[in-house]
Structure 1
Amino acid sequence: MADVIQLLPDAIVNKIAAGEVIQRPASVVKELMENAIDAGSSAVKLVVKDAGKTLIQVIDDGCGMSETDARMALERHATSKIREAEDLFSIRTMGFRGEAMASIAAVAQMELRTRRRSDELGTRIVIEGSEIKTQEPCQCDAGTNICVKNLFFNIPVRRNFLKSNTVEMRHIIDEFQRIALANSDIFFSLHHNNSEIFHLPPSNLRQRVVNIFGNPYNKRLVPVEEETDEMKLTGFVSKPEFAKKTRGEQFFFVNQRFIRSAYLNHAVLTAYEDLLPSDTYPLYVVFIDIDPKRIDINVHPTKQEIKFEDDRLIYNYLKVAIRHSLGKYRVTPTLDFDQEGSFSSVRMKPVSPARPTIRTFRSGEKGTPSSPTSGQGGGGFSNGSEAGRERNNLQNWEKLFEGLEEFAESEDAPATASESSEVTTIESSWSADPTLDSHTGGEMSKAQREPYQIHATYIASPIKSGFILIDQQAAHERILYERYLEALQDKQASTQKQLFPRTFSLPPADAGLLLEILPQINLLGYDIKEFGSNTFVVHGIPADAKGKGQEETAIDSLLAQYKNNLDLHLGTNENIARSMARSNAIKRGQNLSSTEMQTLIDQLFACQLPFKSPTGRNCFLTFELDELAKRFEKD
């Protein structure tokens, strides 16, 4: 029998390796920009078209490469970062595997132009599917210019699995932001379809965060800085009140390299303790500088997962550092020990007139309520000494509980005047309340038919066979979803014009997303127009919109929900309708009047599909009387 095991050709090997390293256009962006950083660049320009599917171009002013190095860079496992195995434990560069350039060249059409500052001419190489098409001298600027065209042109299946341009562009922006945050001393710019999205001049970390996420973030940041013999922590966290419902603004960097760590994320959330509202996530940009010998980054091809020598030590340092910063900048609640320890300023609420009035008469006294004996001078104490004060307190407490045993016994048998030294009379106006009258008829009264809230979250409404329990948020989401979807289809919605138009700014990434879906949003009753420099002006809002004057908050919530739904492969209209319904719906914990609850119930059962919310939650549950009766039976 002939031998069947053989070495694979380099072209196939490169395609297999590319499947691990190059998963989408954002992977190419990451690898090329990290190479630019390792080349010592002071300026990096990223140009993409069609979310990287047509073109990804990275231009830097780094050290450049010679003709031989340029050719070797396209070979597998060819790198300038390490020389021997021991170098793996002292890595300070972004790349070290030597796989990225060969993997990109295997699945795309790539053109490389590079020149060292000491050379008069540079080198131009054109490669397609690991096959060199052209290698020649050329005139170019010092540094490196790499164009990657038609990604996955020779792997149609992989290209068909790419998501929409909006989703792929969001991943590219995520990678760009991580690298830009880690290198605030370098100029970065990002252009998409001939439009500049980011222009980030060299600055300190705080200014870089503000330039990426927008000016409003400047007042939200709390500095974090701790240094020990083991490690150094620097960066920023956000104030608790600015935490968001969605993730995406959480960044860990270890030796300038972005990493993912659920363990360290838990340390940050633990540091906030009870400061964060439920299901919210604070922004943090935390840099951990540690000896490379104490970590292992050779864990995953993306190099975003690392192993620490002592995870628990890093966890505790991080938690303590953030907690210390929150306390130092007066974010955490404090106790005022200078306040006088008395309750003289506390005002008690007046007793409700509906409560029963209890009057106690001692036997042999006139029909006037007994009153405590006042001390000398009206101060409440007859003796100014501490012993006298304690004695008087003891007597008052005894008087307070005097006769309670007889009162407890009177519940079983009525007491006579001879059996007790006190007669207790209870006067109450409750009997005059008509709502407490018993209804002996078979029909429910109007009061009994009215819905009521449970914990400001659920609405209970009686029906003939039992009752229904409605999730007020899920129900309102269903109502708004169908209303918005109908408005988008009919292209008719009422708009309330603003007397004074309001402007708001968004981070560049969100501004680009809003521009893309702005026509559909305006169909829902908004009148929003671009104002330039990632700024928009609101001329009108939907007539039934709640929270007038909070347009920016509503748009932020809408964009967050829209981004979360991008991976669901929904149509644009359906995604916007779901996002608007989610952001504008009544929230759990919001109190409603009886009229509002009844209106919500009527509108819910007028929907085409009242059973489920757009996200799949049950809108209501039905409980039958027979089912309740069985639950009360003995086991």
Structure 2
Amino acid sequence: MSDIIQLLPDSVANQIAAGEVIQRPASVIKELVENAIDAGATSINVLVVDAGRTSIQVIDNGKGMSETDARLSFERHATSKIRKADDLFSLHTMGFRGEALASIAAVAQIELKTRMASDDLGTHLSISGSRFTNQEPCSCPVGSNFLVENLFFNVPARRKFLKSNTTELNNIINAFERIVLVYPHIAFTLYSNGTELFNLRSCNYRQRIVEVFGKRLNQDLLSIDVDTSLCHIHGFVGKPESARKKTPQQYFFVNERYMKHPYFHKAVITAFDRLIPQGEQIPYFLYFEVPPTNIDVNIHPTKTEIKFENEQAIWQILLAAVKEAVGRFNDIPSIDFATEGKPDIPVFAPHSGTKAPKVE
């Protein structure tokens, strides 16, 4: 009986891997912008044409790449961010798997120009469907300039299932916002078909939120800043009167990484119990800082689902911090803090005060 199991060619394996990592134009922008951040960029420009169907360009002033690194960066599992498995629990970068560029190159046509400050000339690479078609020296600024064209040109089924330009552009804006909100010290621009959508200067967290979502939101934000032995939580929650039936802006970040966390969301909502009408939501922008060894970011391809140690204790800390912020600004008229005092912020007391629900 003949053997039937075969190793897939790299080009096919990369296309399959790209299905998880690169789902739409917004995925490309997320990966390229995160790479620019990891390269130390202080200015990042994003330009899209036809919501990314025709082209996506990301230009940064980071440290750039050498000729060898530029070519190697498009190989699967090639990364400068980790060296061994244990490094996954001490991450200080956005990327770490070494899959993004290989996945993009498998389903698009890419032009890369990059140069390091120590080099007189940069490198110009051309790739189409994982195949290198050109590599030559070039004159270019320090940093990297990625031009991604004809996304999914060789996977017609994937291209056919992209949504309308309006929907895909909204996805791009959502991905862009999740990044710029946690890096206010970096200047960003976003252009669509030559029209400027965002031009964000370097600023602080509150200024960045207002720049992105408008000045009206500024008057509704209450600041939070609590530091314990388990975590540091800072950011902003909306006043009770800012509650709306339509889901407002709600963002969690941990160690400068956007995350989805329904469990912590419940803590915020619990803090507003009986203060806002049922079915309404308040905006929040909350930033967690924890030791990298106390979280696992490698449980989902998008890296947005993150597992914490001591989640129940952090739930209590978050609940108390939000309650304290609302009370401090006298937005709870039924409570007299002069006599009752403000809520204590627990350091590690899982059995005191409001009990945190079990982690599902």
| TM-score bracket, shorter-length normalisation | over 0.9
Give the equivalent residue in structure 1 for 2:202: 202
Call closer, same or farther: CA 1:336–1:63 in 2, change over 3 Å: closer
Deviations 1:445-503 (CA, angstroms, capped at 9, x unpaired): xxxxxxxxxxxxxxxxxxxxxxxxxxxxxxxxxxxxxxxxxxxxxxxxxxxxxxxxxxx
2:235/2:285 contact within 8 Å kept: yes
Give the equivalent residue in structure 1 for 2:347: none
How far is the alpha carbon of 1:248 from its aligned partner?
5.1
Give the equivalent residue in structure 1 for 2:353: none
Q: Distance in 2 between matches of 1:162 and 1:253?
A: 28
2:264/2:315 contact within 8 Å kept: yes
Q: Distance in 1 between matches of 2:314 and 2:64?
A: 38
How far is the alpha carbon of 1:84 from its aligned partner?
1.0
Give the equivalent residue in structure 2 for 1:148: 148
2:45/2:189 contact within 8 Å kept: yes
Give the equivalent residue in structure 1 for 2:278: 278
Deviations 1:514-542 (CA, angstroms, capped at 9, x unpaired): xxxxxxxxxxxxxxxxxxxxxxxxxxxxx
Call closer, same or farther: CA 1:336–1:138 in 2, change over 3 Å: closer
Call closer, same or farther: CA 1:164–1:235 in 2, change over 3 Å: same
Q: Kindly report which structure 2 residues correspond to 1:332-411, keeping only aligned pairs within 5 A, or say none.
A: 332-335=332-335
Give the equivalent residue in structure 1 for 2:355: none
2:230/2:314 contact within 8 Å kept: no
Call closer, same or farther: CA 1:118–1:271 in 2, change over 3 Å: same
User: Counterpart amino acid of 1:70?
Assistant: A
Q: Kindly report which structure 2 residues correspond to 1:114-153, keeping only aligned pairs within 5 A, or say none.
A: 114-153=114-153
How far is the alpha carbon of 1:218 from its aligned partner?
1.2
Q: Distance in 2 between matches of 1:312 and 1:168?
A: 37
2:248/2:282 contact within 8 Å kept: no
Over the aligned positions, Cα root-mean-square deviation in angstroms equals 1.2
Deviations 1:381-414 (CA, angstroms, capped at 9, x unpaired): xxxxxxxxxxxxxxxxxxxxxxxxxxxxxxxxxx
User: Counterpart amino acid of 1:142?
Assistant: V
Give the equivalent residue in structure 2 for 1:177: 177
Count how many residue pairs are aligned between Structure 1 and Structure 2: 338
Q: Distance in 2 between matches of 1:335 and 1:220?
A: 20
Call closer, same or farther: CA 1:277–1:125 in 2, change over 3 Å: same
Instruction: Normalising by structure 2, report the TM-score.
Output: 0.92
Give the equivalent residue in structure 1 for 2:249: 249
Give the equivalent residue in structure 2 for 1:40: 40
Residue 94 (structure 2) pairs with residue 97 (structure 1): no
Q: Distance in 1 between matches of 2:247 and 2:34?
A: 24
Q: Kindly report which structure 2 residues correspond to 1:163-312, keeping only aligned pairs within 5 A, or say none.
A: 163-247=163-247, 249-312=249-312
Give the equivalent residue in structure 2 for 1:60: 60
Give the equivalent residue in structure 2 for 1:9: 9
Query: Which structure is higher in RCO with an 8 Å CA cutoff and minimum separation 6?
Result: 2
Structure 1 counterpart SS, 2:274: helix
Call closer, same or farther: CA 1:248–1:83 in 2, change over 3 Å: farther
How far is the alpha carbon of 1:47 from its aligned partner?
0.4
How far is the alpha carbon of 1:247 from its aligned partner?
2.4
Call closer, same or farther: CA 1:130–1:226 in 2, change over 3 Å: same
Give the equivalent residue in structure 2 for 1:69: 69
> Which structure dedicates a bigger proportion of its chain to helix?
1
Structure 1 counterpart SS, 2:203: coil
Q: Which aligned segments of 4 or more residues in structure 1 are displaced greater than 4 angstroms?
A: 335-338
Instruction: Normalising by structure 1, report the TM-score.
Output: 0.53
Q: Distance in 2 between matches of 1:337 and 1:76?
A: 58
Residue 82 (structure 2) pairs with residue 82 (structure 1): yes
How far is the alpha carbon of 1:334 from its aligned partner?
3.4
Call closer, same or farther: CA 1:311–1:335 in 2, change over 3 Å: closer
Q: Distance in 1 between matches of 2:337 and 2:287?
A: 36
Q: Distance in 2 between matches of 1:46 and 1:146?
A: 10
How far is the alpha carbon of 1:337 from its aligned partner?
9.5
User: Counterpart amino acid of 1:223?
Assistant: S
Give the equivalent residue in structure 1 for 2:349: none
Q: Kindly report which structure 2 residues correspond to 1:308-323, keeping only aligned pairs within 5 A, or say none.
A: 308-323=308-323
User: Counterpart amino acid of 1:30?
Assistant: K
User: Counterpart amino acid of 1:192?
Assistant: S
Gaps of 5+ in 2: 339-360
Give the equivalent residue in structure 2 for 1:460: none
How far is the alpha carbon of 1:278 from its aligned partner?
2.2
Deviations 1:400-452 (CA, angstroms, capped at 9, x unpaired): xxxxxxxxxxxxxxxxxxxxxxxxxxxxxxxxxxxxxxxxxxxxxxxxxxxxx
Q: Distance in 2 between matches of 1:227 and 1:206?
A: 19
Structure 2 counterpart SS, 1:276: coil
